Amino acid sequence: MQSVGIHHITAIVGDPQENVHFYSEILGLRLVKKTVNFDDPGTYHLYFGDEAGHPGTIITFFPWINAYKGRIGDGQVGVTAYAVPEGALSFWKNRLTQNDIHFDTVVRFEEESILFNDPHGLILEIVERKEGKKSEWEMDDISTDVAIKGFAGATLFSGAPNKTMNLLEEHMGLEKVGEEGEYIRYRSIADIGNVIDIKLTTTGRGSMGVGTVHHIAWRTKDDNEQLEWQKYLPTAGYQVTPVQDRNYFNAVYFREFGGILFEIATDPPGFAIDEPKEQLGEHLMLPARYEGYRQQLEATLPPIHIEKNRRNEK
């Protein structure tokens, strides 16, 4: 079996308005879906990505206003990395500075990148990458030449790095491409969401809560291939869930031996299944089973507002 790369990353955050402001207005991603948590419909599930929310560009959030803060550590995705076009890193340094967001500059595997926190404590990284198509989503002050293309990849904080490496290499079809200090680098065949670093040293045990990644999802091309994954993973010792219908993809979950929750997610059908491409993210979309509760849900969910969830009118 082989996954071409990351499908999406899902994290727990706090106030939804702070979340949409940061990801859409500071980072310039498109809010591609505003829906509810299917397991807890009184709370939002918000999806951000490129202009269409292509696999490999999607970050999703459960904003839990009164939840405990988590701790980033072993058993989690520690760092979520974004790819920008070559030459765009200085733009992002300036943009973060202008918005009073502190960043650290690091060099790893001969790439310079910047590391910073989102408003709720997630660790984000921006790095220049040649591969990956440019996002077509732009705002007045973020042109497509500098806009985030999607995920560069992620750094996994595993509770058992050797076992996580074995999973990526022997069972998921990633290739080991480098080793530097406390990091091992893997690469998948996609051109976005394709570089995974594993940290070999411990960060201390992580705990789930606000400001931590909940799970990382890997791409599979369709329902049939997903069923093959579901059959294959138990032969390697992993316990998998039944297929769950997430409306925009189907999902199968398993916890890898380093403690990180993995998901296998189908590329289709994508976000245009229930609203037109031009209007992605503008209206609250509900799965059929909650449509009858729309009025109550709309009254309960805190209002969120984005100044510019719309491409510039040329």
Residues that bind Zn ion (CB under 5 A): 10, 217, 263
Q: Which amino acid is at 180?
A: E
| Smallest gap from residue 265 Cβ to Zn ion (A) | 6
The CB-nearest residue to Zn ion is: 217
Between CA 137 and CA 310 the distance in angstroms is 9
Between CA 40 and CA 43 the distance in angstroms is 6
Quick one: 256 or 263, whose CB is closer to Zn ion? 263
| Smallest gap from residue 244 Cβ to Zn ion (A) | 9
Helices (H) and strands (E) in the chain, counts: 6, 16
Quick one: 60 or 188, whose CB is closer to Zn ion? 60
Quick one: 58 or 89, whose CB is closer to Zn ion? 58
Per the DSSP assignment, residues forming a β-bridge with 74 are 205
Quick one: 139 or 217, whose CB is closer to Zn ion? 217
Between CA 195 and CA 156 the distance in angstroms is 11
Quick one: 37 or 144, whose CB is closer to Zn ion? 37
| Smallest gap from residue 264 Cβ to Zn ion (A) | 10
| Smallest gap from residue 266 Cβ to Zn ion (A) | 11
| Smallest gap from residue 261 Cβ to Zn ion (A) | 9
Q: Which amino acid is at 312?
A: N
| Smallest gap from residue 220 Cβ to Zn ion (A) | 13
Closest CA to 203 of 229, 178, 183: 183
Between CA 152 and CA 80 the distance in angstroms is 8
Residues with Cβ < 8 Å from 166, sequence gap 6 or more? none
Q: Which residue has the tokens 């999806």?
A: 47
Quick one: 192 or 216, whose CB is closer to Zn ion? 216
Q: Which residue has the tokens 């993995």?
A: 262
End-to-end CA distance of the chain: 45
| Smallest gap from residue 260 Cβ to Zn ion (A) | 13
| Strands (E) located in 238-310 | 244-245, 250-255, 261-266
Quick one: 83 or 217, whose CB is closer to Zn ion? 217
